Amino acid sequence: MTTTNEIPMIHQAYEESLKLLRENATAHGFAAAAASDKAKERNYTAIFGRDAMICALGALASGDSYLIEVGKKSIETLAEHISPKGQIPFSVHIEKKQVRYWLPQSVDGTVWWLVVYWLYAENLNNFTFKAQFHDQFKLAISWLEHRMSFGLLEQGEGADWADVVPRSGIVLYTNALWLLFLRLINSSEQVNVYTSFEYFLSRQKLTGDAFKKLIEFTPSYRKNIHKRIASESYFLTAVSRMSVEDSFDTYGNILACLSGLVPSRRMAAIIKELHAVSKLSPYPIRVLAAPQKIPHGIIEHEHQNKAWCYH
């Protein structure tokens, strides 16, 4: 329950968020950071795919007409530089005429673009805007489909926002975002994809007709998961042919719940776990449930991955 002392802080945070969006607004969309010598040195004045789309999502939620226009420009800038095969750029720097797609091909930026483009087109009820990028929309989906197994996205190391954390294979965060998109467009495949999502990323033993076909055809690494980890209500961070990452990814689990496809009982258990591991103090949430413990596989020498830092 929110106390009277917390309300002003919430309002202040909201106003500061809008201020930050205005500071990062450019003629080409939302830059990763407002122009400064340090931002220019690190190329953060570029339009980054995932960053710009998350900013555009906030702009749409704010209802601020100026910020919404900057959000539309972000969608447009990224769409105009889509790769021939359909990947939304990792970043676009108009002044430098520099377009980056990153290696091994950043995946989540493309999914974020699909989500935000769809939300803008639907919420603004703008047929012209929707039609303008219809071809890019189809092409982006096609690019992602070529990176799928059993309806789920597979990715290489460093191919999402946690770019120096070498998780790979079927990653919770990326696929939770994909589930959210399928739900948004009311895809006929959403239930089947969620079944695969449960099968590969659940920490629990699954039975029933829906899983029989998956049990028969999936690789042995999935069948061996339950011999290696404890049963919990939340989803695994990542599963590959060589490893299972069983740390509690708060971001990925929250996105999965927001997809609308996680059953209510499972969602309640995840929220309960979230409260238990986060303590909700001194900060609202932690990216990793136990940041003092470096999960197996993380590059420890990177400053972002030391205890209590960045990731």
Return the percentage of the chain with pLDDT > 70, whole number.
Answer: 83
User: Is 92 or 205 the better-scoring residue by pLDDT?
Assistant: 92
What's the mean pLDDT when you consider all of the chain? 86
d(CA 117, CA 129): 9
pLDDT of residue 242: 77
SS3 26: strand
- Write the pLDDT tens digit of every residue in 165-179: 778 899 999 999 999
- The pTM (predicted TM-score) of the whole model is 0.89
- Write the pLDDT tens digit of every residue in 45-71: 999 999 999 999 999 999 999 999 999
- Angstrom distances, CA of residue 228 to CA of 121, 154, 203, 208, 259: 45, 21, 10, 22, 28
